[in-house]
């Protein structure tokens, strides 16, 4: 028999009405950052979450995927140790322990996103689903919340394509992939974007056969020259990649698995596997919020927002995936900072510039990272491309990781317009270029920097220096040096 206690459990919906300054809906990256900021600035804050604290990133996305990639990389390091004169046997992968590793990483980080932590910060946390009943009111469980401001931070979920037979077979999305405790014998992945490629390489390195089927080109939003390096590396790991292939049918087969049928150039081919992962994109979580009652307009990308992340209801703001732009955790955190500033500090508003200034990374091996304009996007403006290869970098040579290169898109006056890196630690190296793009720096800021030796950071500096090579060693410069040499011993 259950008894009601005087003190409710953490996150239990309080009964009755709450008056708040800020009500945040969704406890993922954007929502947690917003609630932290507003509460620390002394605003009475309510945080509502109907699912899991930490949202997609902690539970189903960034954190578990990187943990799984780390396990796959450990296995690959063992296979490749012979390059350094260290002989190891083929690694034995205990997939159940890999699963424990992934869950352990999540559990280690989870306290940072917990109900207890946020209640300790003075936030009222309600574990229930929220629905607007008016422009300044919503209900969550048995609680009615009225607030001066609302922040939508409900994130997104995996898109499920309309493929014949898909609803008749068991399939995985990122929301359940990391629950597997047994290694897939043959994992078929529909979708060759970042999630699809990362999970393909991770599972292949952990011993699964893997086939990726992509309707266009893999990593289609990235620079094709950078993508070529990733395609080569993932294929060499043993992943079968089928591009420009439209999936037309999925069905169970007699082997206890499933068969996928696809078409390319008028021809049909089939792939048989044990598991199917659908990774074709994301769609916003907005359907159950009652946004019509709040006067908040939506479209196919999510909630309509202005350049300050305000919706069509001036009380309501949106951050992260639901705001319809780039769907990255770091963008959600950036959005949260803007909204806190624009909501509470009304004098100086900050515009959302994530589309131009946010980097993105695909964590394959090699990693692929980009910021700003690509070479194709810069075609209509005056620009030059500077580059430098990993195989000319001493640290990359020493660690036997010479695959990859950096390329920088440079505008008039040496202004950095964009950069792309494919290679080891590209996700770390892109930070320097993100600073250059967001601060509108010129290449001289990079060339004048002293990079420690030997490091991969020198790849970026040498790429920047390459921009000036033709000018520095031109015939005109040689003539100037020759003329000045006449004055040696005179001045």
Q: For the chain (length 491 residues), average pLDDT per consecutive 10?
A: 39 74 97 97 96 94 96 96 93 96 97 96 96 96 96 96 96 96 97 97 98 97 97 98 97 92 96 97 94 95 95 97 93 96 86 94 98 94 96 97 97 95 98 96 95 97 89 59 62 51
**pLDDT at residue number 140:** 96
* Distance, CA of 143 to chain centre: 34
d(Cα 374, Cα 408) in Å, to the nearest integer? 9
For the record, the structure tokens of 60 come out as 């189903």
For the record, the structure tokens of 146 come out as 């009225």
> Within the chain, which residue ranges are assigned CATH 3.50.50.60?
16-53+114-158+283-356, 166-279
For the record, the structure tokens of 338 come out as 């803007």
**pLDDT at residue number 482:** 64
> What residue numbers does the annotated binding site for NAD(+) cover?
191-198, 214, 281
16-53+114-158+283-356 domain in CATH 3.50.50.60? yes
Assigned CATH for 166-279? 3.50.50.60
**pLDDT at residue number 173:** 96
d(Cα 452, Cα 455) in Å, to the nearest integer? 6
User: Are 323 and 311 spatial neighbours (Cβ–Cβ below 8 Å)?
Assistant: no
- The full length of the chain comes to 491
Q: How far is CA 335 from CA 21, 260, 350, 431, in A?
A: 19, 39, 10, 18
Domain 366-472 superfamily per CATH: FAD/NAD-linked reductase, C-terminal dimerisation domain (3.30.390.30)
**pLDDT at residue number 347:** 72
439 contacts: CB under 8 Å, gap ≥ 6: none
For the record, the structure tokens of 77 come out as 């390091």
d(Cα 26, Cα 329) in Å, to the nearest integer? 13
> Within the chain, which residue ranges are assigned CATH 3.30.390.30?
366-472
CA dihedral 232, 236, 237, 240 (to 10 degrees): 80
> What residue numbers does the annotated binding site cover?
66, 154-156, 191-198, 214, 281, 321
d(Cα 347, Cα 334) in Å, to the nearest integer? 19
d(Cα 34, Cα 154) in Å, to the nearest integer? 12
R_g of the chain, CA atoms, integer Å: 26
pTM of the model: 0.91
| 411-441 exposure pattern, b = at least 16 Cβ within 10 A, e = fewer | beebebbbbbbbbbbbbebbebbbbbbbeeb
Q: How far is CA 177 from CA 196, 205, 224, 250, in A?
A: 12, 16, 28, 19
d(Cα 73, Cα 67) in Å, to the nearest integer? 10
Cis amide bond preceding 454, omega within 30? yes
Helices (H) and strands (E) in the chain, counts: 16, 23
**pLDDT at residue number 6:** 38
> What residue numbers does the annotated binding site for FAD cover?
66, 154-156, 321
d(Cα 430, Cα 460) in Å, to the nearest integer? 9
3 contacts: CB under 8 Å, gap ≥ 6: none
**pLDDT at residue number 210:** 98
């Amino acid at each position: 028999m259950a008894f009601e206690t005087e003190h409710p459990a953490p996150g239990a919906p309080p009964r009755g009405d709450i008056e708040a300054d800020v009500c945040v809906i969704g406890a993922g990256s954007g929502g947690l950052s917003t609630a932290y900021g507003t509460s620390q600035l002394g605003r009475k804050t309510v945080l509502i979450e109907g699912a899991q604290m930490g949202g997609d990133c902690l539970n189903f996305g960034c954190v578990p995927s990187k943990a799984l990639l780390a396990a796959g990389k450990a296995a690959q390091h063992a296979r490749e140790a012979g390059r350094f004169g260290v002989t190891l046997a083929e690694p034995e992968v205990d997939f159940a322990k890999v699963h424990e590793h992934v869950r352990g990483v999540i559990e280690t980080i989870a306290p940072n996103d917990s109900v207890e932590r946020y209640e300790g910060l003075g936030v009222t946390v309600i574990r229930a689903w929220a629905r607007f009943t008016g422009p300044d009111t919503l209900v969550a469980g048995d609680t009615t919340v009225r607030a001066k401001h609302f922040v939508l931070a409900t994130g997104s979920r995996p898109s499920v394509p309309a493929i014949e037979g898909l609803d008749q077979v068991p399939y995985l999305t990122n929301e359940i992939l990391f629950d597997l405790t047994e290694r897939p014998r043959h994992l078929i992945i529909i979708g060759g974007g970042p999630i699809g490629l990362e999970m393909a390489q991770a599972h292949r390195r952990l011993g699964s056969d893997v086939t990726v089927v992509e309707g266009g080109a893999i990593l289609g939003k990235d620079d094709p020259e950078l993508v070529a390096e990733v395609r080569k590396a993932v294929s060499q790991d043993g992943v079968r990649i089928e591009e420009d292939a439209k999936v037309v049918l999925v069905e169970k087969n007699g082997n206890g698995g499933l068969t996928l049928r696809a078409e390319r150039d008028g021809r049909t081919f089939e792939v048989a596997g044990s598991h199917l992962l659908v990774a074709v994109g994301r769609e916003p979580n907005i359907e159950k919020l009652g946004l019509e009652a709040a006067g908040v307009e939506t479209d196919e990308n999510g909630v309509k927002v202005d350049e300050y992340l305000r919706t069509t209801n001036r009380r309501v703001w949106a951050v992260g995936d639901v705001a319809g732009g780039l769907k990255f955790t770091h963008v959600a955190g950036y959005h949260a900072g803007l909204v806190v500033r624009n909501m509470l500090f009304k004098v100086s508003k900050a515009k959302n510039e994530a589309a131009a200034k946010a980097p993105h990374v695909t964590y394959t091996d090699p990693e692929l990272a980009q910021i700003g304009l690509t070479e194709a996007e810069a075609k209509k403006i005056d620009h030059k491309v500077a580059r430098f290869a990993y195989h000319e970098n001493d640290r990359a040579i020493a660690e036997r990781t010479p695959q990859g290169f950096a390329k920088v898109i440079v505008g008039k006056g040496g202004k950095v317009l964009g950069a792309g890196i494919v290679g080891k630690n590209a996700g770390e190296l892109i930070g320097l270029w993100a600073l250059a793009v967001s601060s509108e720096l010129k290449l001289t800021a990079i060339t004048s920097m002293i990079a420690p030796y030997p490091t991969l950071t020198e790849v970026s500096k040498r790429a920047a220096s390459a921009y000036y090579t033709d000018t520095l060693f031109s015939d005109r410069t040689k003539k100037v040096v020759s003329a000045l040499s006449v004055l040696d011993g005179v001045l």
